[in-house]
Amino acid sequence: MNIGIDLGGSHIAIGLVNKEKILYKYEKIFTKEDKENIKQTIKKYISEGIENILKIEKLENIEMVGVSVPRKN
């Protein structure tokens, strides 16, 4: 099992995935208020997403965590 974190400019998505499919997905679109304190917002939603995943899957079964973020050109 793996955890994937997709951090975009307008949302965050966190998922529990295996080699074949997404087993659980937690997604939040940022509001204007979220963006005003973006560091705290990111911490909050990553924590919530991972807490929810750990209710489904044991930590020792997680092999990898991948993070995707936008890049500047």
Domain assignment present for residue 73? The answer is no
- pLDDT at position 9 is 85
Place 60 in a pLDDT band, splitting at 50, 70 and 90. Answer: very high
* CATH number of the domain encompassing residue 52: 3.30.420.40
Place 21 in a pLDDT band, splitting at 50, 70 and 90. Answer: very high
Total of domains in the chain: 1
Q: Using the structure block, give the residue that is written with the tokens 């307008």.
A: 10
Predicted TM-score (pTM) of the model is: 0.84
For the sheet containing 22-29, what is the strand order? Answer: 22-29, 11-17, 2-7, 64-68
Domain assignment present for residue 10? The answer is yes
Domain assignment present for residue 34? The answer is yes
Which residue segment(s) compose the domain that 46 sits in? 2-68
Tell me the average pLDDT of the chain: 92
Domain assignment present for residue 12? The answer is yes
